[in-house]
Every structure is written in C-alpha cells, then in structure tokens.
Amino acid sequence: MKKTNIVLLVVIAVAIGVIVTMAGDFSTYVTFATAKEKEGKEYHVIGTLDKAQALNYDPVKDANYFTFYMKDKLGESRKVIFYGTKPTDFEKADQLVLTGKISGEEFHCDKILMKCPSKYKEDQVAMSTKKM
C-alpha cells in the first residue's frame, strides 16, 4: 500500500472516532423520571410551568437565582433551580425546554428555552371565519 493510502485511512478512522465520541455527548429529550435514573448526566426536559406552585425570583436579593416548578410530559412536577435572570414573559410560555441535571429532588437548569403562544393565532382564526 502507498503511504498516502495509509495516511488517508488513518485520517478517516480518526474522523469516525471523533464523530462517534461526539454523538455520545449529545443530550436527549427525557422526563424527570429518566433523568433521575442517571443523576448527574445532562438532559433536555420538555414540560409546562406548574402554575399551582409559586415562582421565586427576587432581583434585589439575588438577580441570578430563579426557582419554579415544572410538569414534564408525564405530569411529574419538580422544583427547578435556574442560576440566571428570569426570562421575560416567562409565565406566558406554552412549553418549556430545560437543559440541566437532576440533583437530589431538584432539577438544576443551565438553559431555558420557551415556546410562547403564537401572536398570529388570533389573526388566523379571524381570517378563517371571514372566508366562510
């Protein structure tokens, strides 16, 4: 075999190894129960704000500490601790995607993504009634 072929095979093998290693680090969407089974591993949890529980955010005391309760897809409610400022219009979000880890009975969140209600939803309903 030529040296260039050997070098090319080594480069391809290294590239495949890097891709396989990176694929193992990707977070997956889970429920709180699944995240609890593998405590300490980072996951994405999808759910909704548990409006029956109180939000705790006091920017005067600590602007980077925000706690709330979220229900996952199975309905399990869990306390979430976010070390950052409370997102604008947080209460209006239809759905939340949290990135973080379970620690004890709490979910420590690094990032919050919010799915807010569409501002065009009312316009679409109005347009569909006009067309009739």
Per residue of the chain (132 residues), give pLDDT as tens.
688 888 899 999 998 888 877 665 555 788 898 888 888 888 899 999 999 999 999 989 998 999 999 999 999 999 999 999 999 888 888 899 999 999 889 999 999 999 877 666 555 554 444 445
The candidate with the shortest Cα–Cα distance to 78, out of 30, 43, 32, 29, is 32
**DSSP-derived pairing of the beta strands 106-115 and 77-82:** parallel
Q: Which CATH class is domain 27-119?
A: mainly beta
pTM of the shown model: 0.68
